[in-house]
Structure 1
Amino acid sequence: MSEAPDIATAWHWLLERRPGTRGATHDALPVVVEAAYAEPSLRALYPFPTHGTLHFLRSAPPWPDSDHDEAPFILYGGPPYQVYSSRYTDLLGECATPAEAAALVVSHLPAHAGGEPGV
């Protein structure tokens, strides 16, 4: 499975459920992708679905060995939609909707994540 070469293409492939795209066959993912895409701060990050989660990475592949995955992420498949800090360090909250989950991610983005910093 190939990864999209840049951030805009990654979002486009996920939104259109392009065959061969990571997560394209998961029926629970599209509503979370749409909610995340509606947030400009998240739209500036590389969306990376894996193992039932939607991560937001600072850059497109190839990824460096360090800190490219420091943003909170969403477990899709809800409701509730759980939002965790990077590496499952902390459960930041459970949300009733994908839009609430995306907003929670934005509010906890690290200052250097690439989008606008959260609190």
Structure 2
Amino acid sequence: MTPGIIPHWSEAIRRWATSADQVEAVWAFGSRVKGRYRPDSDLDLALIVAGEDDQERMGNAICMAPRWEAELQALLPVKLHLHCMEPDDVIVTPAVREHGTLLYSSLKLSIRSAQAAARVS
């Protein structure tokens, strides 16, 4: 259990991700995962988006991210920041590797294998 993420939030995120066709994995990261959060802290979520190649993944992320963020925000009582992971990202991907908590994976990946997938996808 992650102290800054209430269990029913995790369950709501998993249910949402199950219905989001192009979402392969969802991680929580940031202050709520590290235990350095305040009551008004946001919830940072990182997604791996499906696609045949980098361009398709990026296109899917650009097209769908606003909708996904709105859907998730409607489910959660905390300010949400949604990030789509890219292997060459210098902020989100390293943070997920360092302290991310895997909340959902359509591929039934372990956190280590999912992080490896994020590095090569």
TM-score after normalising by structure 1: 0.30
Higher relative contact order (CA 8 A, sep 6+): 2
Higher helix share: 2
